[in-house]
Amino acid sequence: MLSVGPEALRDALTRAKAQGLSAAVHAIGDAAAQVALDAIRTVGIERARIEHAQMLTDDDIDAMAALGVTASVQPAHLLDDRDATEAVWPGHGIQAFRLRDLLDAGVPLALGSDAPVAPLDPWLAMAAAVHRSADERPGWHPEQQLQPREALAASTDGIASLQVGGVGDVVLLEGDPFADVPLGADGLMVDAAAREAAERLRETAVRETFVAGVPSLAR
């Protein structure tokens, strides 16, 4: 369903660029992504984002990398959409939630929740990105799985460590759920280990939260 046509989208992006703004374009399927990318390329707007970027072709990923377009993806949706995707688009599940391909291509990756459509839970999003399964089945297209630290970086605007003068938003955890998942002989994550890593992420207990260096309870 095309809610905003190509001409209207180009006009909107042109107005945004004239005001020094960037833009986030909602595009779930690959056809929508292509409309969005064509408009972004034509207008020349910088730091644009595609929200969802759920179904992508190789050409779409190449274009996003070339244009510096951020892929804002909600991994928890793959848990719900796995069966529907295979039923409605049999054989095209390989195009869905291409997290590894996006990261390897150099596309800026931002993981989110899409709340209130999905729970406002970053641990669930990271767990879904790591194992890609909500039940006893192996991960869906495991070639697209992320390591826990990659999922963390994609959930924190790429900030993976504390630095002097950096952002002082910090959480203290009960343990460390970000250990790398071992790979098998096929180069993919060992499924049982990926499942355990995802479970650790979902069960993570936050002991304290600091915002701009100040304990959240002090605010």
Cβ density class 102-126: b for 16+ within 10 Å, e for less: bbebebbbbbbbbeeebeeebbbbb
Calculate helix-pair angle for 191-202, 122-131, nearest 10 degrees.
180
The DSSP element (H or E) to which 172 belongs, if any, is strand 170-173
Boundaries of every domain in the chain: 6-160
At 74-98, the pLDDT tens digits run 999 999 999 999 999 899 999 999 9
At 146-191, the pLDDT tens digits run 999 999 999 998 787 788 988 889 999 988 999 999 999 999 999 9
- CA–CA dist 139, 150 (Å, integer): 17
- Protein fold of 6-160: TIM Barrel (3.20.20)
Contact 133, 94 (CB under 8 A): no
At 101-127, the pLDDT tens digits run 999 999 999 999 999 999 999 999 999
